[in-house]
């Protein structure tokens, strides 16, 4: 069983455990028991679970980068980036309309989406109608740059996934070329 499947299994078990603490039963005695659980204990359990999941994801990302020998840099929010080919155009910034050629894959290598099949992706920078990690990453680029981003789940599609090809709590790997920039 690979590490991603083990990680997802632990995540599912943890969620079931937490839900069992929160869900009340029809038995009055059990309802009284749940009323005695303090909000502080629930919060502490959730914080501990989140910290464990974040450490696991960080370890998975570190191993991935090491395996491919990528020269990634890390931002404080956890976004990893590597601009591996420099362009000569203007720098991207908020309120600009960016157009990218891209491949979006999961950290296990499964390709989810690509501009080869969907066409280039176009969006306004600084509007949060897309993964925040993608938005932040593109704002570090210049027109013509090619970059790789590793986007932790909290900067990607989060706990829910995208409802299609990106599962819940997925770490995303983008390969991007910034092909057009214009003012809004």
Instruction: Quote the pLDDT of residue 23.
Output: 56
Same domain as 60, residue 100: no
Query: Which one of 68, 85, 103 terminates a domain?
Result: 68
Instruction: Quote the pLDDT of residue 183.
Output: 92
Specify the number of domains making up the chain: 2
Per-residue 3-state assignment (H helix, E strand, C coil) for the chain = CCHHHHHHHHHHHHHHHHHHHHCCCCCHHHHHHHHCCCHHHHHHHHHHHHHHHHHHHHHHHHHHHHHHCCCCEECCCCCEEEEEECCCCCECCCCEEEEEEEEEEECCCCEEEEHHHHCCEEEECCCCCCCHHHHHHHCCCECCCEEEEEECHHHCCCCCCCCCCCCCCCCEEEEEEEEEEEEC
Same domain as 159, residue 92: yes
Domain that holds residue 14: 3-68
Condensed to tens digits (0 to 9), the pLDDT of residues 18-69 reads 656 555 444 444 454 556 778 888 788 888 888 888 899 999 999 999 999 9
Query: Which one of 47, 68, 89 terminates a domain?
Result: 68
Taking 70 as the threshold, does the pLDDT of residue 12 lie above it? Answer: no
Instruction: Quote the pLDDT of residue 119.
Output: 98
Same domain as 59, residue 25: yes
Instruction: Quote the pLDDT of residue 47.
Output: 84
Handedness of CA 108, 53, 6, 156 (dihedral sign): negative
pTM more than 0.75: yes
* Lowest pLDDT segment from 5-19, 31-45, 67-81: 5-19
Same domain as 50, residue 86: no
Region 74-94: mean pLDDT is: 96
Condensed to tens digits (0 to 9), the pLDDT of residues 117-173 reads 999 999 999 987 789 999 999 999 999 999 999 999 999 999 899 999 999 999 999
Same domain as 21, residue 91: no
Region 73-99: mean pLDDT is: 96
Same domain as 80, residue 10: no
CATH number reported for the structural domain that contains residue 87 in this entry: 3.10.50.40
Instruction: Quote the pLDDT of residue 15.
Output: 66
Region 3-31: mean pLDDT is: 56
Same domain as 111, residue 23: no
Instruction: Quote the pLDDT of residue 42.
Output: 79
């Amino acid at each position: 069983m690979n590490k991603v499947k083990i990680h997802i299994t632990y995540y599912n078990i943890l969620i079931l455990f937490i839900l069992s603490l929160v869900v009340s039963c029809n038995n009055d005695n059990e309802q009284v028991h749940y009323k005695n659980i303090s909000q502080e204990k629930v919060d502490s359990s959730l914080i501990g679970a989140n910290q464990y999941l974040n450490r696991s994801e960080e370890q998975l990302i570190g191993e991935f980068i090491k395996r491919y020998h990528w020269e990634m840099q890390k931002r404080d929010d956890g976004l990893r980036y590597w601009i591996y080919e420099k362009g000569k155009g203007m720098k991207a910034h908020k309120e600009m309309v960016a157009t990218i050629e891209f491949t979006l894959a999961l950290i296990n290598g499964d390709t989810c989406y690509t501009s080869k099949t969907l066409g280039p992706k176009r969006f306004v920078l600084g509007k949060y109608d897309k993964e925040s990690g993608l938005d932040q990453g593109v704002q570090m680029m210049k027109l013509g740059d090619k970059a790789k981003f590793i986007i932790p789940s909290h900067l990607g599609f989060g706990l829910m996934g995208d409802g299609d090809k990106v599962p819940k709590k997925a770490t995303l790997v983008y390969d991007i070329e910034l092909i057009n920039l214009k003012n809004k």
